[in-house]
Amino acid sequence: MTLAPSTTRGGTAGVNRFTPDQLLRTARLFASDPDLERHVDLTATERQWTVLDSTPHLQIWLLTWPEGTGTGWHDHVESAGAFLTVRGHLLEQSWHGRRAESRSLKAGDGRSFGPRHVHHVANAGVGAALSIHLYTPRLTAMTRYAVTPDGLRAKGIERAGVDW
């Protein structure tokens, strides 16, 4: 962690850089909240997300994954991140060269990644899954991709996150 003057309006000192290990430890800290599920509807039929905390340097999201839902192929542009499965079973597919590699993440499993990490995440279990996601700096855009015979092709960039 680097302590440096913040770019927020108050100009107070704050943390503005995070290592991959720090991101994953922070995800574990938020995942340990025994009241975490009060923020979401685990009976929903579509993916839901809520921002638990946000600064210009770090954004923390809680995601709900109904059975069979996923993200599609995307990256987080300039944001690095981490995510941790709190409940259920997520499957992450990451794009490397011309092929996808899969990683299974059950409750308590997490991973961190750098900017421009291209992946697809989906609920691979029975019932709803729940996960914590962190982005640094705050997530503002995602590149969406299509799988083609030649590999991935960028379809466009969409606005993401909450600007506050």
Tokens, residue 81: 């991140």
Ramachandran quadrant class, 87 (left: phi over 0; alpha: psi -120 to 50; beta: rest): beta
- Do 122 and 90 touch, CB atoms closer than 8 A? yes
What does the pLDDT look like over 73-85, one tens digit per residue? 999 999 999 999 9
**pLDDT value at position 112?**
96
Tokens, residue 154: 């960028």
Q: What is the pLDDT of the chain when averaged over all its residues?
A: 88
Give residue 114's identity as a one-letter amino acid code.
G
- Only one residue has tokens 């025994």, namely 34
- Do 48 and 37 touch, CB atoms closer than 8 A? no
- Three-state DSSP state, 70: strand
- Do 27 and 62 touch, CB atoms closer than 8 A? no
- Do 129 and 88 touch, CB atoms closer than 8 A? yes
**pLDDT value at position 46?**
95
8-17, 46-55, 131-140 — which is least confidently predicted? 8-17
What does the pLDDT look like over 75-125, one tens digit per residue? 999 999 999 999 999 999 998 878 889 999 999 999 999 999 999 999 999
DSSP class of 68: T
Give percent above pLDDT 90 in the chain.
79
**pLDDT value at position 4?**
34
Q: Buried (b) or exposed (e) across 129-145, using 16+ Cβ within 10 A?
A: bbbbbbbbbbbbebbeb
d(Cα 75, Cα 81) in Å, to the nearest integer? 10
What does the pLDDT look like over 143-155, one tens digit per residue? 999 999 988 999 9
